[in-house]
Chains A and B, each alone.
Chain A
Amino acid sequence: MTPLVKPRGLFIGLTLLCLLATWLSLALGPVSLPLFDTLRAALRLLGVPLAPYGLEQAELILGQIRLPRTLLGLAVGGVLALSGVAMQGLFRNPLADPGLVGVSSGAALGAAIAIVGGAVFGDVPEGFAPYLLSVCAFLGGLGVTALVYRLGRRNGQTHVATMLLAGIALTALAGSAVGLFTYLADDATLRTLTFWNLGSLNGASYARLWPLLIISAGVALWLPRRAKALNALLLGESEAGHLGIDVERLKRELVFCTALGVGAAVAAAGMIGFVGLVVPHLVRLLAGPDHRVLLPASVLAGGSLLLLADLVARLALAPAELPIGIVTAFIGAPFFLYLLLRGRA
């Protein structure tokens, strides 16, 4: 298949799109700020010494609400899309998404334990309470993924097919455990759980943001270095091995990066579906299957898509807000159907 766009053009286009989405995400919101104020406040946030006169509200909204939210959207979208590429490469299956190795369901389980358990047992140390949910979700994701990986290993080899089935089984198991917690939850905790499952970039704060930013930057820098190996893996495992790729190590890295990245993203923003599945396809349609292009381009595209979806989420019903999971799935599901009907998937 010849790519529709040359890599150079793609990168220029995606970078522009990403900048545009970032700007829109900073400039638009339920509170309408004069464009000039937004510009000045943005420049001040960047450290340009301008007179703060009349900028109090703009600075507060930009600095404390929109900027952390925008960064969160970029990081979550980017890392989810990147993990999607990694998983589709690992399983050599275009239907694969980051949830396949159990990281999402594990995180959901961790969150359910934190939300319901926290309500039942109470008494979490004061300073730790706000982070309990994120930490539990992150650890749940890592834990279940580690288990899936362990189950897929036999005689020092990782069997991708076994891993896939183990992932399905553990996802079902985690799902039923979440169901049990849902049953045990009282009305109030139930609603918290439901909203967490829908995902949201709402209420982003720097304290929650930093761990995610560091992890996603790490993943985004590391995975593209393995692009050639992923390309070789497209030929098949033994073929990749003959080309001098340490396939076992590659698989381990892919699973580890996905677990870290998706775990951190889910911990910070809840479950956000379809970005990890759809964005890699979108980029592949445009630029072909070369991972050297696909990996970095997916980061840009994922971040942009999530920011635009978030914009819909917070403007559509303002002053109320839609959970972003609804918007991404609403865009993602029809696109996915379109792919299926084209016979590509």
Chain B
Amino acid sequence: MRLSTRIAALCVGWLFSHPAVAADLPQRWVSAGGALSEWVSALGGEAKLVGVDTTSQHPQSLKALPSIGYQRSLSAEGILSLRPDILIGTEEMGPPPVLAQVKAARVRVELFSAQADLPTLAQNLIHLGQLLGAEAQAKQLLQTYQQQLDAQQARVAQAQTAQKAPGVLLLLGHAGGKPLIAGKDTAADWLLQQAGGRNLATHSGYKPFSVESLASLDPEVLVFADRALSGEAAKTALFKENPILNSSRAAKAGRVMQLDPTLLVGGLGPRLPAALKTLTDGFYPAKGGQ
């Protein structure tokens, strides 16, 4: 080995042995996952994002970035045209040949798990923190998140001493029409449980439901997430398209709640604790001026 080569090798070794220096960190980010984009923004990395997929809807400012399309049908050249240093996404990102092409172009591809539980989130956040050079911030965020979820559990436990867990159905619809009901093994089911609700649906996945069985389950609280409309318009549309819902206990008691459908995609996101609190408050209404 020639001396110059050795020196070069030494220098390279020395470079890599150092903890990540700011210059080594990826500067141009493309994110293909709603919750991941939110976390990158929460960690102060929004300015580094140069492109996001269609599931990245929060914070609103992300919508101004170039869209790389839906996370499952990415295009290699489209992504490369943004000259990214790194592409992040969940295991849902694909198709695989496209990821291989992106990797071949020496873009770092980092996969994160979209599983909805705390250990996964902790791992993801730490990893993101390292990549963004914001490890301290990541730890801080994680701690706050943990506290919020703990407080949430305490809140549910506290509420359940006084009231029974209400039977809930979560309807996922598009402009009110033909809602799908969230069953077991869905992010929605997990969400309802965390908020202290009892999911009345027993099937697995999101399935269309007959209006009759909907009426017979007679939920105490209805939660609906609409992909097209929001606010009062979504609620009106839901009841207009499915008049049978009007006769449910939930509708009569006015216990119909709305949920942002983007919360149901891509693992635990930063907006989750607040959404859970709102749900819990709706599930266990304060009785007569306590």
Contact = CB atoms under 8 A, between A and B. Distances in A.
Contacts of B34: none
B69 A65 contact: no
| Candidate in A29, A195, A204, A321 with the most chain B CB atoms within 10 angstroms | A321
B118 interface: no
Interface residues of B, number: 32
Interface string A301-345: 000000000000010011111010000000000000000000000
A321 B69 contact: yes
Contact of B78 (A32, A191, A319): A319
Contact of B95 (A64, A202, A314): A202
A191 B69 CA distance: 13
A205 interface: yes
A202 B75 contact: yes
A254 B40 CA distance: 56
B107 to A, nearest CB: 11
A57 B78 CA distance: 14
B51 A319 contact: yes
Contacts of A320: 54, 67-70, 75, 78
A188 interface: yes
Contact of B69 (A61, A204, A205, A317): A317
Interface stretch (B97-105, B214-222, B234-242): B97-105
A202 B77 CA distance: 9
Nearest to A198: B73
B98 A203 contact: yes
Contacts, number: 91
Contacts of B100: 205
A93 interface: no
A318 B81 contact: yes
A130 interface: yes
Nearest to A205: B97
Given A186-B205, A203-B95, A203-B98, A314 B104 contact: no
B67 A319 contact: yes
A192 interface: yes
Contact of B72 (A60, A195, A314): A195
B206 interface: yes
Interface string B47-88: 000010010000000000011111011111111111000000
- By Cβ-Cβ distance, the 10 closest A-B pairs, closest first, are A320-B69, A319-B78, A203-B97, A30-B81, A321-B75, A31-B81, A203-B98, A30-B78, A186-B205, A29-B77
Given A200-B73, A314-B75, 7 more contacts: A30-B78, A32-B81, A319-B68, A319-B69, A320-B75, A321-B74, A323-B73
Interface of A: 29-32, 57, 60-61, 64-66, 130, 183, 186-188, 191-192, 195, 200, 202-205, 208, 314, 317-321, 323
8 contacts: A29-B77, A187-B205, A191-B72, A200-B73, A203-B101, A205-B97, A314-B78, A323-B73
